[in-house]
Amino acid sequence: MSKHAFIFPGQGSQFSGMGKNLYDNNSLAKDLFEQANDILGFRISDVMFIGTDEQLKQTNVTQPAIFLHSVIAFKTMHDAKPDMVAGHSLGEFSALVANNVLQFEDALKLVSIRATAMQKACELNPSTMAAVLALADDKVEEICQQIQDETGEVVVPANYNCPGQLVISGSLNGIEIACERMKAAGAKRALVLPVGGAFHSPLMAPAKEELAAAIEATTFNAPSCAVYQNVVAKAVTDATEIKKNLIDQLTGAVRWTQTIQSMVADGATRFTEVGPGKVLQGLVQKVFKEAVVDGVN
């Protein structure tokens, strides 16, 4: 039987004006935005609707903004009955609201703590990420490992986005060396990304401790359907295991290619991206050409 998967985007899909149509046209959406403004202690809705790209890029704004847009879009859908859910990095928190593991308020608080903790970790260790295009995953992994062994610099695979697109993460020096070596090994491009730090790498360890404490103190309910989590790329339904994987995600890789492959193997034929942008729809089609993809924002 074919299944309907709901997927939720992560950092990078924000844009000025995001969520405004929801706020203006739906009373539930308006209530949730106002509740979020109270929880966060500032009017994030104003930043989302009229903020500059620069303001929206700040991690402590970006992450709650994308989470809010995604979750409110989901909650205002009339026929949202996912058979399975997944989220890319930050999007995993949205997915956990969609399958009833987390309450809206609890998830928003965790996202805010995660964003602040990651911002602090970025300031402790100047670091970055780079996209490597058209080089086999195992070759990218091998080069990262060689650089770490030879130089002691941190360089790791961070986001397995789709075949031929792998984002690496690490120290400034490590990423610079890696970009040169990836190109020499035949990568079409190895491009440093405009991000503030090495997400999904060991350099996020200080943030992981802070987030772990908050996650452990939060109630996780039994899910209404399985969540396919980034670090294990398979269906998870046990609340304790979901917590552990969510904590490990900060320093572990986002195995998105493998996640979509698992969902397809378990019967997914339709994928609905809920939230800002269309990035995930494109990635899904690169992993599974026959997928039916659509989006709700």
Q: What would the pLDDT profile of 221-272 be if each residue is shown by its tens digit?
A: 999 999 999 999 999 999 999 999 999 999 999 999 999 999 999 999 999 9
**What pLDDT score does 268 carry?**
98
pLDDT at 271: 98
Domain 3-123+202-296: top CATH class: alpha beta
pLDDT single digits (tens) 26-85: 999 999 999 999 999 999 999 999 999 889 988 889 999 999 999 999 999 988 899 999
pTM higher than the cut 0.75: yes
Establish whether 89 is a catalytic residue. yes
Superfamily of domain 126-192: Malonyl-CoA ACP transacylase, ACP-binding (3.30.70.250)
- pLDDT for 246 equals 98
Is the pLDDT at 276 greater than 90? The verdict is yes
**Does the pLDDT at position 1 exceed 90?**
no
Domains 3-123+202-296 and 126-192 share a fold: no
Per-residue b or e along 138-153, where b marks 16 or more CB atoms closer than 10 Å to that residue's CB = eebbebbeebbeeeeb
d(CA 99, CA 85): 7
78 labelled catalytic: no
Q: List the chain domain ranges.
A: 3-123+202-296, 126-192
SS3 string, the chain, reads CCEEEEEECCCCCCCCCCCHHHHHHCHHHHHHHHHHHHHHCCCHHHHHHHCCHHHHHCHHHHHHHHHHHHHHHHHCCCCCCCCEEEECCCHHHHHHHHCCCCCHHHHHHHHHHHHHHHHHHHHHCCEEEEEEECCCHHHHHHHHHHHHHHHCCCEEEEEEEECCEEEEEEEHHHHHHHHHHHHHCCCCEEEECCCCCCCCCHHHHHHHHHHHHHHHCCCCCCCCCEEECCCCCCEECCHHHHHHHHHHCCCCCECHHHHHHHHHHCCEEEEEEECCCCHHHHHHHHHCCCCEEEEEC
Most confident stretch, 18-27, 116-125, 195-204: 18-27
Mean pLDDT along residues 93-103: 98
Q: What number is the average pLDDT over the span 174-193?
A: 97
Q: CB count, 10 Å around CB of 79?
A: 5
**Among 89, 94, 127, 171, the one annotated catalytic:** 89
Given a cut of 90, is residue 199 above it in pLDDT? yes
pLDDT value at 205 more than 90: yes
